[in-house]
Amino acid sequence: MNNSNNALTEAVYYILLALIEPLHGYGIMQRTAQLSKGRLVISAGTLYGALSTLLEKDWIEQMEAVADSRKKEYRITPIGRVVLEQELSRLEELVKNGVQILKQ
């Protein structure tokens, strides 16, 4: 699991966020770019390396292939969702602390 000492990379955070709904690789790349307003553009090599790692950690799963389709679709697992929620809490704390200090 994720904890406060293991921050997710921005790419992993957005990939997990994108996979709240099942997507294939190209869809993940499009969705992460959309969610980040174009700031994060993930290359195919980066994406597939991250997907492999996320599969190993059981944070995502590959869905059963649809007949006559070569596209692999992925979705977040319950463990992955907990990790994502923990990261969101960590990020909220960072923002809260920053606002408190900078707005004094």
Work out the angle at residue 1's Cα, subtended by the Cα atoms of residues 53 and 87, and round it to the nearest 5 degrees. Answer: 90
**Which H or E run includes 62?**
strand 60-62
- Spatial CA neighbour of 50 closest among 86, 80, 82: 80
CATH number of the domain enclosing 30 = 1.10.10.10
Is residue 2 in some structural domain?
no
Q: Is residue 81 part of a domain?
A: yes
Structural domain count, the chain: 1
pLDDT single digits (tens) 58-83? 999 999 876 666 788 999 999 999 99
Considering the entire predicted model, what is its pTM?
0.88
Question: What Å distances lie between residue 52 and 9, 14, 67, 93, CA to CA?
Answer: 15, 15, 23, 29
Place of tokens 């969705």: 31
Main-chain dihedrals φ then ψ at residue 33, nearest 5 degrees: -65, -40
**49 inside domain:** yes
Domain extent, residue 27, equals 10-102
